[in-house]
Structure 1
């Protein structure tokens, strides 16, 4: 009694052994495993390690990926650049540049103040000469001469007060309004610096310019020591933005144009 050949065997060749089915060409061959481990030469995938050609997932915690844009207000480490909206990456002004700009402004203000003082001194000298020309009590018309000199001195004093008022207005307009609407005084212009809002890169405006101006003025009441501390306060800024106390109050930073 004969039995039919098993499936896949040539009926005309009963002695041929059954061959396993072949996989299509180019299809990755399955490798036998021994003891649960892939065979030698089979690509292994370890936990937490990306395969060749794959991009690693995640990154260093707290560090942006390479080429990823930084958030506005972020200071790049050790290179003095800050990312500001509507401006992009801008270079922060160094304390040396800011000192030179303040020095130039100081020279301009001192020149104007010197002119005012010379005018007041000239009025005082003229008053002294008028009194000497009046002579003594025995000189005829002495009383009238002294009265005229006093009236002249009152006029000179009034003119001096007007000049001091003009000087105060000049200082306010120079520091406050130029920063507010130009972003720079003459000294900052000469050094290529500009004061902008940290949030959007715009000019400080009247409000921001006034806050930035009035804080050093308030500090100057205490023998100018407070104002000096305000101007030196950028050295104490740990954020790397070199913001003084007046900059923080006004929300501004000083950058290179």
Structure 2
């Protein structure tokens, strides 16, 4: 039996039997302290890093999935093709002044040629039936009457043809001339044909374009929306199709 006072006969606690934390590694060293060997969020990655934080790996609302009002702005058409289509509208590019003039001339021929023919025939008949202005001899009341009939036919045909063209313009947006020139009359806000009634009123409103040397008919050359005065009154546009 060793000397109870002998420190080497009976090893001091912590030397023969290694002190806790050395032979048996101290808690947190041999078995790594929580947060070092397996740090919360490192060995097992922190929430938001290994599993990316909400809004980064899964993009934040409004970035990966664009915020309402940015990618598709509310209340703003996707996207007006038309600017000020030139005045960009979503309804198509605006018709050039030359195309509108060409359409007008074609429509004038559609009405003017047949009515003109009837008018000329009427004038010939009236002239042939009239008595000699110097002697008072000759003349034929029948021919003169026939001439008047041709005049009336010319007027009726011109009126009917004019109303028919207005009907076509109001219901389809195109007269014969506009169809040939590839243009169309539409409402500025609706983008649709304006109907017979509005087309008729627009035709009457062209008297505004006749003031001051017909400046209203030339106004589309300078206007952003390429409108005549009648177009502005009726809120109409002429676009290409």
Question: How high is the TM-score relative to the length of structure 2?
Answer: 0.62
Counterpart among 39, 64, 71 of residue 77 in structure 2: 71
Counterpart among 88, 102, 105 of residue 103 in structure 1: 105
Structure 1 or 2, whichever has the larger Rg, is 2
Superposition deviation, residue 169 in structure 1: 1.0
Structure-2 residue corresponding to 1:247: 231
2:219 is equivalent to residue 233 of structure 1: yes
Name the CA shift for 1:13/1:109 in 2 (closer, same or farther; >3 Å): same
Q: 1 CA distance for matches of 2:78 and 2:162? A: 32
What stretches of structure 2 of length at least 5 have no aligned partner? 1-18, 47-55
1:51-70 alignment runs, 5 A limit: 55=63, 65=70, 70=76
Cα deviation 1:87-128 (Å, max 9, x = unaligned): xxx232222322222222233333234313322331243135
Q: 2 CA distance for matches of 1:205 and 1:27? A: 69
Structure-2 residue corresponding to 1:120: 122
Q: 1 CA distance for matches of 2:123 and 2:83? A: 54
Moved more, 17-26 or 201-210: 17-26
2:174 is equivalent to residue 172 of structure 1: no
Structure number with higher strand proportion = 2
Name the CA shift for 1:71/1:246 in 2 (closer, same or farther; >3 Å): farther
1:174-253 alignment runs, 5 A limit: 174-217=164-207, 219-220=209-210, 225=213, 228-238=214-224, 241-253=225-237
The CA RMSD over aligned residues, in Å, is 4.2
Structure-1 residue corresponding to 2:90: 83
Aligned length: 202
1:18-33 alignment runs, 5 A limit: 21-22=34-35, 23-24=39-40, 25-27=43-45
Q: 2 CA distance for matches of 1:210 and 1:217? A: 12
Superposition deviation, residue 197 in structure 1: 1.9
Greater RCO, CA 8 A, separation 6+: 1
Decide whether the 8 Å contact of 2:171 with 2:196 is kept in 1: yes
Structure-2 residue corresponding to 1:41: none
What stretches of structure 1 of length at least 5 have no aligned partner? 1-9, 29-50, 85-89
Question: How high is the TM-score relative to the length of structure 1?
Answer: 0.58
Superposition deviation, residue 181 in structure 1: 2.0
Superposition deviation, residue 13 in structure 1: 3.6
Q: For 1:82, what is the secondary structure of its paired residue?
A: coil
Superposition deviation, residue 232 in structure 1: 1.9
Q: 1 CA distance for matches of 2:232 and 2:79? A: 13
Q: 2 CA distance for matches of 1:254 and 1:186? A: 15
